[in-house]
Amino acid sequence: MWVTKTVEAVRRARGALRGRVALVPTMGALHAGHVALIEHGGRIADHVIVSVFVNPTQFGPNEDFTRYPRPFARDVEMAREAGAVGVFAPDVEEVYPPGDVACDVSVPALAGDLEGAQRPGHFAGVCRVVAKLLHMVSPDVACFGQKDYQQLRIVEAMARDLAMPYAIEAVPTVREPDGLALSSRNAYLSPEDRAHAVGLYRALCEARRMVENPNVAEADPRVVEAAMRQFIASYHLVVDYAELRHAKTLAKLETIDPAHTPEVVALVAARCGPVRLLDNTVLHVVH
């Protein structure tokens, strides 16, 4: 497996590959969720390239860019074990050459609220770096986790609207045995916080019960949202948001109506000690 740091080198290495190429963009600190993306890439393509880049433009001024974990040697080993053909790990100056004039890549209709409201500028940073990484590597397909649901929808919209010749592939969320979604930031959790963190998943399970169980079939999204907030708070987490949205457009819902929206997504975010945790699940609305 090769490791490259420059755009020129990754283009040369990619150009030498025959067959379909999948890109798995990551910020490193790889865990089983990233491994699932790499393995998924290996099933739908002949070769998988993993990018490892902690992207400064998607972090806010008071966020954890400088202290974000960077266990690079371990990441390379994990990518190799998961079957990647190469790792592209550019420096910040390679992705953002000093003196270059910045483009603004954004999807305003999807990026304004939820994570976008909590983290101003975050999705503009994500779109810009994902567009750059895609053009640098030129894969046939790029794999993104459903764990970052709003990001996934935004990247899909960006690729479609800008006619990017790359398919976007969604990969299901990998969870701990108790349901907590894997995240590189889980490493910041104290044992006590870790015990509380499962509250997000439990809130999603409650939403699933209320929407999918025919004996309940709750039709009012506000009732489900209030129940999720209550669940999250009962685990000593501080709720940022707990919302039901249209699964494709992320639009707010007036009612939960299978004729109108057969699929809704429950999206939750909460603070758990020093960590902001996100989770979501797609629900199939019953009559």
Give residues 36-75 in contact with ligand AMP (rule: CB under 6 A). 36-37
CA angle 165, 168, 169 (to 5 degrees): 145
Among the listed residues 4, 13, 33, 122, the single contact to ligand AMP using CB under 6 A:
33
Q: Is 196 one of the catalytic residues?
A: no
Give the tokens for residue 80.
Answer: 């190799």
Return the range that interacts with ligand AMP (CB under 6 A); candidates 3-11, 104-112, 170-178, 211-219. Answer: 170-178
Q: Which residues of 112-139 are buried (b: 16+ CB within 10 A; e: fewer)?
A: eebbbeebeebbbbbbbbbbbbbebbeb
155 or 253: CB nearest ligand AMP: 155
Work out how close the CB of 217 gets to ligand AMP at its nearest, in angstroms, rounded to a whole number: 29
Work out how close the CB of 147 gets to ligand AMP at its nearest, in angstroms, rounded to a whole number: 4
**Sheet holding 238-246: strands in order across?**
238-246, 263-272, 275-284
Work out how close the CB of 280 gets to ligand AMP at its nearest, in angstroms, rounded to a whole number: 11
148 makes contact with ligand AMP (CB under 6 A): yes
Report how far residue 255's alpha carbon sits from residue 276's, in angstroms, rounded to the nearest whole number: 29
Q: Which parts of the chain fold into alpha helices (H)?
A: 7-15, 32-44, 72-82, 92-95, 108-111, 115-118, 122-137, 149-161, 191-197, 199-212, 221-234
Report how far residue 44's alpha carbon sits from residue 121's, in angstroms, rounded to the nearest whole number: 32
125 makes contact with ligand AMP (CB under 6 A): no
Give residues 175-234 in contact with ligand AMP (rule: CB under 6 A). 181-184
Report how far residue 272's alpha carbon sits from residue 260's, in angstroms, rounded to the nearest whole number: 35
Return the range that interacts with ligand AMP (CB under 6 A); candidates 41-49, 87-95, 144-152, 192-200. Answer: 144-152
Among the listed residues 9, 167, 174, 217, the single contact to ligand AMP using CB under 6 A:
174
147 makes contact with ligand AMP (CB under 6 A): yes
Q: Give the active site residue among 34, 40, 122, 196.
A: 34
Work out how close the CB of 264 gets to ligand AMP at its nearest, in angstroms, rounded to a whole number: 20
Report how far residue 161's alpha carbon sits from residue 166's, in angstroms, rounded to the nearest whole number: 12
41 or 221: CB nearest ligand AMP: 41
Give the tokens for residue 2.
Answer: 């090769």
**CA of 100: how far to CAs of 89, 135, 136, in Å?**
20, 16, 16
Number of residues that bind ligand AMP (CB under 6 A): 17
Residues that bind ligand AMP (CB under 6 A): 26-27, 33-34, 36-37, 144-145, 147-148, 171, 173-174, 181-184
> Which are the catalytic amino acids?
34
